[in-house]
Amino acid sequence: MKPIIDICADLGEGFGKYSITDDDRILEIVSSANIACGFHAGDPRTIQKAVQSAKKFGTGIGAHPGFPDLVGFGRRNMDLTYEEVYTDVLYQVGAISAFTKANDVNLQHILPHGQLGNMANDSPIYAAAIAEAIKDFDSSLIVMTQPGCLLEACKERGLTTAITIFADRAYHVDGSLVSRKEPNSVITDPETILTRTLKMVLEKKVTAITGEEMDIHGHTLLVHGDTEGSLQLIHQIKSTLLENGVEILPLGEWIEKE
């Protein structure tokens, strides 16, 4: 049986006339898209365009809710209550869902963005608020996350989860991501990224930033759309995986539902 992986990217992260990535060209390559919901990036026009393009290319559509922090791009810590996290996530997922419904396409998954996702992995309160919002909105949605509090909160509520692995980020030996504030946290060398990706997908192993080899198991491979040269990199990753016998499909087509 061929190994299977989903390739996803964060898209729709422009605002007004400003655009970070060439969403259309990336959507031709990836199998799933995490679309910004308007809090850390995105606006009604960028959401509409991203959803329509994803539908055209048959790409799985996901909501990418983040902290209400346009200036910091959702990558700064925020001290919020359970109710604030719950309602912020519910609001953002509802926004994306309005556009998927209007365009007659299904919402496949949810991936919390940036520090919202990072803090939810460490905070039982943030994790519970996010998981409860997803359960209350649509318990059939797949939740992309990493090992930690959010994964456990989703499992406790019977939600289907998919483990996200990162092609262009460094890991600590405990499986957590190295903070972007730290040196060498973002990997930019294409050959290194390709080698690491193959090892993660085929061998279920990755080398931590301290040099130790660790186990890693993922369902979806995330490549950040705002990484320099991301378009070419995503194309290279997909080509390399296909050449090595890996099947690439949207999560909704193969992941086992709870």
Q: Is 82 exposed, middle or buried (0-12, 13-18, 19+ CB in 10 A)?
A: middle
- 195 vs 187: CA distance, rounded Å: 12
CATH of the domain at 211: 3.20.20.370
Within a domain: residue 159? yes
Asked if the structure places residue 99 within a domain, the reply is yes
Q: For residue 180, what pLDDT is reported?
A: 84
Task: Confirm whether 183 is domain-assigned.
Answer: yes
Asked if residue 258 belongs to a domain, the reply is no
pLDDT in tens, 166-178: 988 999 998 888 9
* pTM, two decimal places: 0.94
- Domain that residue 150 falls in: 4-253
Q: Which of 58-62, 156-160, 175-179 has the lowest mean pLDDT?
A: 175-179
Q: Is the residue at 197 inside a domain?
A: yes
| Cα–Cα distance for residue pair 237/159, rounded to 1 Å | 29
Decide if 49 is inside a domain.
yes
72 domain-assigned: yes
Indicate whether 101 belongs to any domain. yes
Q: How many domains does the chain contain in total? A: 1
pLDDT digits (tens, 9 = 90+) for 90-133: 999 999 999 999 999 999 999 999 999 999 999 999 999 999 99
CB atoms within 10 A of CB 72: 14
